[in-house]
Structures are given as structure tokens and as C-alpha cells.
Amino acid sequence: MTQKTALNILKTGANVFLTGEPGSGKTYVVNDYVDYLRRAGIETAITASTGIAATHIGGMTIHSWSGIGIKKKLTKYDLEKIATSEYLVKRIRRTKVLIIDEVSMISADTLTMVEAVCREVKGVSAPFGGLQVVLVGDFFQLPPIVDRQEPAPTDLFLELETIEQPTSHFSFSSPVWSRAGLIVCYLTEQHRQADRQFSAVLSAIRSETVGVLEQEIVASRLVTPNTVPTEATKLFSHNLNVDQINLDKLNKISGSVRIFTMKSEGREALVITLKKSCLSPERLELKIGARVMFTKNNQRLGFVNGTLGEVIGFAKLSGRPIVKTKDGRRIEVESMAWPVEENGRALAQISQLPLRLAWAITIHKSQGMSLDEAVMDLSQVFEFGQGYVALSRVRSLAGLHLLGWNQKAFAVHPQVLSIDRNFCQQSVVGEETFTKMPMVDLQKMQRNFILASGGQWPVKNEADEKSRPVINHQRIKKNKIDTLDETLALWRQDQTLKQIAQKRKLAESTIFSHLERLVLQNQLKPAELKRLPSPVLTKALPKIQTVFKELKTRNLLPVFEKMGGAYSYDDLRIARLLLED
């Protein structure tokens, strides 16, 4: 789905799950929609699962907004207490649209609690108390942190007859997910990775179809510690020593240090939360020659969150650092604000230079960044999504420098893999429904939502929206739906895998990945793939498929190991693709 279609759906007031691969423009669409709502005078709550994510979008955590805080369960007493809190009641009742970013890091229990609070405070039995809810995120990225040692007791959880106990820790497993009637908007344009070969590798990780070719591509980026590019940021899976590495590097630079201290104002509790979540440190030490990274977006000045540079001096009058970016731009860096806003008013705010030392950073803190170049060691990756997040930060294969990896780096959570197929299918259905709708009917739905929410119609300065510059960094000429359609058309012309790859000037593995995605989206039937060239189709296909069924898995590694490596990963991929559910 394109960004334009997703935005049109959001404007109707429908509940939406906005998803897509890293770099597909989820944040851009959210920002566009928030601007639209503000121009219409609609009260919008902008929240996120974590403090870091909240600072990226200028909002607060969903835990703070809803009043649930760090609670793992919500009793009747807790719910009544929230519903009698004057400022929480005023906040929630005033809100018409609730946006929750990085929903992949919200547990099912948390989403269930938030929904219960909205219904209780609003006094409306509809899901989320009748709010338009927009859930944003990608479940292939970092999962929620849950306490597996102390699960919430079923007899205490919410203690409400209307709430069921989730069966999984992912938010999509919460019963309120299905009750909300979310329309899935799966963005398919790519604005970060212009490198098609690299994009194919990332797509293979998402579909758990990483084969020999993909591993060879990744292996081609292996480096040794003594050949690591000195200017590239290093990503680590653990927080240990990241700050120490940056400090050691800074101390090795000769010259005097300049110190820039964060300023704050507003509610103390919110200020503390902002300081913990901000990627710029409270005390920033810089020297000429320091390696730095921008921590905010400012298209006018030419930097985004993740832009790398080097301090080349300090302005004589203001004392501000002058940073030279990799593309040669020189930026005198001014202090910027991270506010928590509500109803157009700042409740709290911190101000600091939008910079941090950038010799090293954790994978967790890199989520949401776009890097030209990075060095990473994925041999210590310990959870699903961690390796994928790290790899997808980089814009191209040439900017990737790997010290090593383990099998977990390419692992996809089986629940996520399964639900993503459904999300793809639901998005296709939603897109067809809305694109076929007459424009007059679509505009009527959008108008009715604005008026029902107490907003102004027509929305002010709507023409500005069309001329607004795209904030993403790179744009591929064809989006993913286009490229899939092109492969589908050629396949149905009875062309072989090799012929399509030659005609489209792509790797055969990329074309095969297209066919897999087309099957997942129900645009191709497995029977249409019988002419894929592989010896397993004539002799070993039933044998391999039997192993898949016996192991009750669609993962390649267990089958590969069970069969003693007798068949290649590519052969197993074909067998899995033709496997009847």
C-alpha cells in the first residue's frame, strides 16, 4: 500500500494498524496525519511504547498517557482510581484520536489495560471508548519485554468480566486487537534501502527464507577488527561498554573539551522521563575531531536522526559546534527542544544539542535511525528481531561491515511470521476496497469524521499538504507492489526463473523471493509454481514435505538439520513453498 492510500484511509476515522518494513515511511505518514488533524482542530494523543520512541514523535509513553504506569495488571480499584483522576479524565475525554507508535514493543496485557482505561473514562462500551486508534509498528523489530518468571495471575488480571486473558505476549494477541476492527495498512514503498540486493536479503529475513545465496551476500560484508572503518558507527547488542567506548575515543583526541548541558522546564516527573529517553545526553562533551550523530530530524538544515558527522570547530560568537557531515555539508548546530505536548500546550520540555557521540551505540537505541555506514557484531544477538533491526538501519550493502553473526541474527519469531501473512492479505483487501471507492464517497467519510470529532471542515491549508516535501532520504522508482506485479506478469507468461531474472536484471534469488511473497498474498497458488527448476520436485519433494509436517514447522533450519544437510536451503524453500497447509 502506498503512503497516499494509507493517509486517505486514516482520514476516514477508521481504526488502523500502520505497518511496513523499516524505511517504508510509517513515521512520515503519522506526521502527515497529525499535521492534518491539528489543522482540523482535532485533539490527538501521540504516544509510543518506549520513552525513546516517544521523543522521536514528540509525544509521551502510552503508560504515562493512560495512567497505568508500570503496572503489570489492573484491578477494579486501579481502574476506579484512574477514572477519578481529574487530569487523566480531562486528557482522555478530550482526545479524539489515539496514536500508539512502536506497538511491537507493547505487550498484549498493556494494550488490554489501555483499552479498558479508555472505555471506563469515556463511559462508552465501544473499543477504546470510541476513540480512533492508530497502532504503528513492525513486529519483525524488537519485541515487548515481558517478565516470564511472574506472569499476571488470571484471577487478578483486570478483574473485569469483559476482558479475556491474552494467550501471547505480542499486542496482536490481545482480544481488543480483533475487537477494534483494525484496517491493516501495510506500506510497501521503500525509502531507506535503495540497494535492491540488500533489500532482497532483508525481505528474506522477514519471510524466513534466508538461503545459501542470502548468507553468501551477508558473508561478503565480513570484516576483521583491524580492517574496521574508523569512521563508521559501531552497533552492539548489549549496553555494556558503549558509553565507555565513546568516552575513551573522545579522550584520545587532543584539545580542550567543550561541555553542553541540557536545560529543562515543566513537570518534574515528565522532565525526568524525557531525560531518560532522549538520545542526546544530559551532559554532552565535545572536542574538535569528535565523531557525532544527529538525534533529531531537521530537513531545512539537512540532517535526520542518524546523520553522521565530525566536529570541525566551534563558532566564535555562539560557541556552537560546527559539524561536517559525510556529504560535505557544514552545520552550525543549535539547541533543539524535546517537548511533551497536550492540547497544543507543552507540559514539559528539555533542550539540548541534537547530537551524541557516535563511535558506538546499542541496537536498541538505533531503532528508528537511518545510517549510511555501520559496523556491527551480531554474534551476541540474543532475541528475535535484534539482528534484523541492526541490519535494516543501514541504507546499502556497501555501508554494512560485519564482525560476525549467530543463527539468531536471522531468526524470525514464528508467531510474527504467521501473523504477517495475514497482515499482508488484509492490507491488500483494504487497499482494493478504498481505491475502488468513488472519491465523493471517500471525501464524505472524511468530512463526517472531522465534523463528528468537533473539527473544522474543510481542513485549513489542505493545499499545503500536497506541496509538503518528502522527508525520507531515498526513493526507489518502483515500489514493492509494482515490482511484485511485474514478476507475476512475467511468470504467468510462462517465463522461467532465469529468464525473468535476466529480463529484470535481478538475482534469481530475488525473483524467487517475489514468488514467495505473491503466494503469501494469495496472488499465486502453489500449483502455479510446479515448473520451478529443482530435482526435489521430481523425487524428494514428498519426503521433504513429510519432514516439515512431522516437525510441525515451516522453519528451514530444523528440516535442514533433520535431513543431515542432504538438500540445499534453496531446495527446502521450494518444498516449503509447495507445502499444502
pLDDT tens-digit map of 341-354 = 655 566 788 899 99
- Mean predicted confidence (pLDDT) in 245-264: 89
Per-residue pLDDT, 569: 62
Least confident among 91-100, 252-261, 374-383, 557-566: 557-566
Q: What secondary structure does DSSP assign to 117-166, as a single string?
A: HHHHHHT--SGGGG-EEEEE--TTSPPPP--TTSPPPTTTSTT-TT-PPP
> Over 80: is that where the pLDDT of 105 sits?
yes
3-state SS string over 205-218?
HHCCCCCHHHHHHH
- Residue 358 C-alpha cell reads as 557516535
> Over 80: is that where the pLDDT of 167 sits?
no
The answer to whether 283 and 262 have CB atoms below 8 angstroms apart is: yes
Least confident among 138-152, 392-406, 567-581: 138-152
Integer CA distances (angstroms), 217 to 272, 277, 487, 508, in order: 44, 35, 22, 13
Integer CA distances (angstroms), 116 to 105, 274, 517, in order: 19, 26, 37
- Residue 577 C-alpha cell reads as 513453498
- Mean predicted confidence (pLDDT) in 140-144: 76
Per-residue pLDDT, 425: 87
- Mean predicted confidence (pLDDT) in 281-296: 89
* Residue positions counted in the chain: 581
pLDDT tens, position by position, 514-569: 777 777 667 777 777 777 756 555 677 788 888 888 887 766 667 766 877 677 66
- Mean predicted confidence (pLDDT) in 371-387: 80
- Residue 364 C-alpha cell reads as 536498541
Structure-model confidence comparison of residues 310 and 239, the more confident one: 310
Positive or negative torsion for Cα 201, 206, 209, 212: positive
- Mean predicted confidence (pLDDT) in 219-230: 82
pLDDT tens, position by position, 320-366: 999 998 778 889 999 988 877 655 566 788 899 999 888 888 777 77
pLDDT band at 209 (very low <50, low <70, confident <90, very high): confident
Strand partners, 60: 47
Per-residue pLDDT, 241: 66
3-state SS string over 46-82?
EEECCHHHHHHHCCEEHHHHHCCCCCCCCCHHHHHHH
pLDDT band at 286 (very low <50, low <70, confident <90, very high): very high
Per-residue pLDDT, 323: 92
pLDDT band at 154 (very low <50, low <70, confident <90, very high): very low
Fold of 480-577: Arc Repressor Mutant, subunit A (1.10.10)
Q: How far apart are CA 100 and CA 485, in angstroms?
A: 32
Strand partners, 56: none
Q: How far apart are CA 462 and CA 445, in angstroms?
A: 16
Per-residue pLDDT, 13: 94
pLDDT band at 190 (very low <50, low <70, confident <90, very high): low
pLDDT tens, position by position, 407-462: 777 877 888 888 888 888 899 888 888 888 888 999 999 999 999 998 888 887 65
Mean per-residue pLDDT over the chain, rounded: 79
Cell 524505511: give the residue. Answer: 23
Domain locations along the chain: 3-144+154-190+436-466, 230-372, 480-577
> Over 50: is that where the pLDDT of 481 sits?
no
> Over 80: is that where the pLDDT of 509 sits?
no
> Over 50: is that where the pLDDT of 155 sits?
no
- Residue 176 C-alpha cell reads as 481488543
Fold match, 3-144+154-190+436-466 / 480-577: no
Q: What secondary structure does DSSP assign to 165-205, as a single string?
A: PPSSSBGGGSHHHHHTTPEEEEE---SS---HHHHHHHHHH
Peptide bond into 175 cis (omega under 30): no
pLDDT tens, position by position, 31-57: 889 889 989 989 888 888 766 555 556
Domain at 3-144+154-190+436-466, CATH class: alpha beta
